[in-house]
C-alpha cells in the first residue's frame, strides 16, 4: 500500500486523472495527504535525474518514494530494474576490487624490498592465469562478499531467531527481499567510479571515500524501511560490513592473499587522506567544468 512520503501516512492512491493535456502526459493530479496537507508523492512527476540527485543527498522522501511507492511489490519480489542495478553494482565492485588488490600486490618501483614478498609472489601466480580466470576469481570474490552482506542483514531483520528480535530491539520484518532492495538502491553511489572513464584518480582513495558514502546511505535506507532508530540501522550496516569483510578475507586467504586489504578497510589517517583527496578531486572537477 502506498504511503505519503512526507508523514508516512498510508494512502489509497498517489494521483488521479485530471483535465490536463493528455497528449503531453500532463493529465494527472497529485493526491493531497489528509494527514499532513502536502502532496503524497511529489516524485511521481519528477524524472530520474532529480531522483538520483536526491538519493545522493540522502533525502528521506526519495527513499520512501522508491521503497514504498515504486519498487516494492505486494508479493515481495525483486523488480527487474533492481536486478539490473544489482548486476551493475556487482560489476563495478569487481573492477574496483581488482584494481585495489592489483595495486597493493604490485612491487614498488624503487629499490626498497616489498613488505610481504609472498603476497607479491602469490598475486603474480594469479596474474599469470588467463584474463578470463582472473575475472572469474574477482567475480566470485565480490559475489560471495555481497551475498554475505545481504544475508547477514536479512537474517538480523527478518529471522525470528535474530538477536535483535530476541532482545526486543527490532521486530521481525516479513519482507526480506525489500531489505535487499533498500540496500541495493542505497548503494547506487558505487556507480560514481564511472567518472574514471573521463578522469583518472587514486583507486584506493576513491574506494574508501565511496565506502563511507555507501554506509551512510545504507543506514538511512534501513532506518526508513524498517522504521527504526539510527542506532539499530547503524548496527545492521556494521554487521553487514563485517560479514562482507570476513567473507572477503576468507576467499583471499584461500588463495594465499591474506595480507591484502579486501574491503578497503584503513586507518583513521588513511581515511582522512582519502576524504582530503576526494575534496581535491571535486575541486579540480568543478574547476574544469567552470573553464569549459
CA distance 37 to 33: 5
Q: Which of 44, 75, 106 is the last residue of a domain?
A: 75
Burial group, residue 149, by CB count within 10 angstroms (0-12, 13-18, 19+): buried
Structurally, how many domains does the chain consist of?
2
State the residue range of the domain holding 14.
1-75
SS3 call for 238: helix
Both 106 and 16 in one domain: the answer is no
Smallest Cα–Cα separation from 14: which of 52, 57, 56, 44?
A: 44
Q: Determine phi and psi for 15, rounding to 5 degrees.
A: -160, 165
Torsion angle defined by CA atoms of residues 94, 97, 98 and 102, in that order, rounded to the nearest 10 degrees: 180
Instruction: For residue 290, give the C-alpha cell.
Output: 567552470
pLDDT tens digits for range 38-89: 888 888 888 888 888 888 788 888 888 888 888 876 677 888 888 999 999 9
First to last CA, the chain: 47
Tell me the pTM: 0.75
Both 112 and 24 in one domain: the answer is no
Both 66 and 96 in one domain: the answer is no
Both 64 and 172 in one domain: the answer is no
Instruction: For residue 58, give the C-alpha cell.
Output: 540522502
Strand partners, 28: 17
Both 105 and 48 in one domain: the answer is no
Both 134 and 205 in one domain: the answer is yes
> How far are the Cα atoms of 5, 145, 278 from residue 61, in angstroms, in the given order?
5, 30, 27
CA distance 153 to 158: 8
pLDDT tens digits for range 165-181: 999 889 999 888 989 99
pLDDT tens digits for range 249-267: 898 888 777 666 555 444 3
Both 166 and 263 in one domain: the answer is yes
> Residue 279 — pLDDT band, cuts 50, 70, 90?
low
Amino acid at each position: 500500500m502506498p504511503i505519503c512520503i512526507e508523514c508516512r501516512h498510508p494512502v489509497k492512491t498517489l494521483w488521479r486523472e485530471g483535465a490536463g493535456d493528455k497528449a503531453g502526459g500532463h493529465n494527472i493530479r497529485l493526491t493531497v495527504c489528509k494527514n499532513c496537507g502536502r502532496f503524497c508523492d511529489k516524485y511521481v512527476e519528477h524524472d530520474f535525474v532529480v531522483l538520483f540527485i536526491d538519493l545522493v543527498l540522502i533525502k528521506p522522501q526519495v527513499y520512501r518514494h522508491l521503497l514504498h511507492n515504486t519498487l516494492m511489490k505486494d508479493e515481495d519480489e525483486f523488480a527487474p530494474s533492481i536486478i539490473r542495478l544489482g548486476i551493475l553494482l556487482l560489476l563495478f565492485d569487481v573492477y574496483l576490487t581488482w584494481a585495489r588488490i592489483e595495486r597493493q600486490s604490485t612491487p614498488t618501483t624503487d629499490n626498497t624490498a616489498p613488505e610481504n614478498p609472498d603476497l607479491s609472489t602469490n598475486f603474480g601466480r594469479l596474474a599469470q592465469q588467463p584474463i578470463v580466470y582472473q575475472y572469474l576469481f574477482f567475480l566470485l570474490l565480490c559475489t560471495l562478499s555481497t551475498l554475505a552482506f545481504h544475508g547477514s542483514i536479512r537474517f538480523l531483520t527478518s529471522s525470528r531467531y535474530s538477536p535483535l528480535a530476541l532482545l526486543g530491539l527490532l521486530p521481525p520484518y516479513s519482507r526480506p527481499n525489500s531489505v535487499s532492495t533498500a540496500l541495493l538502491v542505497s548503494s547506487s553511489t558505487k556507480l560514481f567510479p564511472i567518472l574514471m572513464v573521463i578522469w583518472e584518480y587514486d583507486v584506493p582513495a576513491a574506494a574508501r571515500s565511496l565506502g563511507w558514502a555507501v554506509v551512510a546511505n545504507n543506514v538511512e535506507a534501513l532506518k526508513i524501511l524498517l522504521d527504526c532508530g539510527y542506532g539499530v540501522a547503524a548496527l545492521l550496516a556494521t554487521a553487514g560490513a563485517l560479514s562482507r569483510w570476513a567473507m572477503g578475507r576468507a576467499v583471499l586467504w584461500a588463495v594465499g592473499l591474506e595480507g591484502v586489504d579486501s574491503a578497503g578497510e584503513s586507518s583513521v589517517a588513511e581515511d582522512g587522506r582519502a576524504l582530503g583527496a576526494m575534496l581535491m578531486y571535486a575541486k579540480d572537477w568543478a574547476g574544469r567544468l567552470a573553464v569549459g
